[in-house]
């Protein structure tokens, strides 16, 4: 037996830039075996979302039960969830199957501005899933929605909001700084906050590209793929960010639509770097 099984519980993006499709590309590039439980279909391109068709909660449970009574799962990435019924189904499966290495990307709104989680379901993510995940990876607007606060405008406020998410029951928070403008906009800094450790920052060059569709999905699925390999959250975050930054550097090579294009999962590059770790 070799290799790790990584499960994505998320929505489908036909453009291939975000959601289940981005997750599977990431898992494969990082040496994982990808599995999927689909929570919603979106009609989506690089230019935006024109429709969402949620999978009924009972059928999300059926997918989870069928898969998890058969296969070992070494890590889980949770993305788009749509509604409270689906949130309940996923929370129940985490408990029943004692899922580990659970990374929750609390997806709420696509970069195009289209809503992917019903506003009334935000409380469900906060109360049902946030305490069950080993790591949550909100962006700045998602952290603000979870807290009912204004959006952070500095690394200091990001730190304070991440601490508040710990108080709400999160085990670890990676607050992503991609939406932060301002003085240090030549860099892209994320903040990892966990109990009993000083906050850690992960900084990369800010890649000058318009093509950033799926950055959040790629980062969270890369962390999930790397957690069983590294067995250390900061090391998995460090290497996942390195993978994402390289995928962003190659984004302009793709021609996948007229809007905000996807990042490029550049397999050959990771093969070379993986050998160094």
Ligand X SMILES: Nc1ncnc2c1ncn2[C@@H]1O[C@H](COP(=O)(O)OP(=O)(O)O)[C@@H](O)[C@H]1O
- Write out the residues near ligand LCLJCK34 by the rule CB under 6 A: 10-13, 18-19, 42, 44, 79-80, 107, 110-111, 116, 213-217
The rounded Cα 8 to chain-centroid distance in angstroms is 10
Contact 224, 70 (CB under 8 A): no
* Pattern 110-149, ligand X, x by CB under 6 A: -----------------------------x----------
The entry of ligand X, ligand LCLJCK34, none near residue 179 (CB within 5 to 8 angstroms by kind) is ligand X
The entry of ligand LCLJCK34, ligand X, none near residue 161 (CB within 5 to 8 angstroms by kind) is none
The answer to whether residue 176 forms part of the interface with ligand X (CB under 6 A) is yes
Q: Which residue has the tokens 């992503």?
A: 176
Minimum gap (Å) between residue 12 Cβ and ligand X? 17
Q: Is 218 a catalytic residue?
A: no
Q: Write down the catalytic residue from 39, 46, 215, 218.
A: 215
Q: Which residue has the tokens 């590039």?
A: 29
Minimum gap (Å) between residue 38 Cβ and ligand LCLJCK34? 9
Q: Which of 54, 108, 135, 244 binds ligand X (CB under 6 A)?
A: 244
The answer to whether residue 179 forms part of the interface with ligand X (CB under 6 A) is yes
CB atoms within 10 A of CB 191: 21
Contacts of 66 (CB under 8 A, 6+ apart): none
CB atoms within 10 A of CB 183: 8
Angle at 154 between CA 149 and CA 160, to 5 degrees: 55
What are the catalytic residues?
A: 176, 212, 214-217
């Amino acid at each position: 037996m070799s290799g790790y099984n990584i499960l994505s519980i998320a929505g489908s993006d036909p453009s291939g830039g975000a959601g289940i499709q981005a997750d599977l590309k990431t898992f494969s590039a990082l040496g994982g075996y990808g599995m999927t439980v689909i929570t919603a279909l979106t009609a989506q391109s690089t230019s935006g979302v024109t429709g969402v068709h949620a999978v009924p909660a009972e059928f999300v449970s059926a997918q989870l039960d069928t898969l998890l009574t058969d296969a070992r799962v070494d890590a889980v990435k949770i993305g788009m969830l749509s509604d409270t019924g689906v949130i309940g189904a996923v929370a129940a499966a985490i408990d029943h199957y004692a899922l580990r290495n659970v990374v929750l990307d609390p997806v709420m709104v696509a970069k195009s501005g289209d809503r992917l989680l019903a506003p009334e379901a935000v409380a469900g993510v906060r109360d049902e899933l946030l305490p069950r995940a080993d790591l949550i990876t909100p962006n700045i607007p998602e952290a603000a929605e979870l807290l009912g606060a204004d959006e952070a405008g500095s690394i200091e406020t990001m730190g304070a909001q991440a601490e508040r998410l710990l108080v709400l029951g999160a085990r670890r928070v990676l607050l992503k700084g991609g939406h932060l403008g301002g003085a240090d906009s030549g860099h892209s800094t994320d903040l990892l906050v966990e109990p009993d450790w000083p906050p850690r920052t992960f900084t990369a060059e800010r890649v000058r590209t318009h093509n950033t569709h799926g950055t959040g999905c790629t980062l969270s699925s890369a962390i999930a793929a790397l957690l069983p390999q590294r067995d250390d959250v900061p090391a998995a975050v460090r290497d996942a960010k390195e993978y994402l930054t390289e995928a962003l550097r190659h984004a302009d090579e793709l021609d996948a639509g007229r809007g905000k294009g996807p990042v490029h999962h550049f397999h050959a590059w990771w093969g070379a770097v993986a050998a160094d770790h």
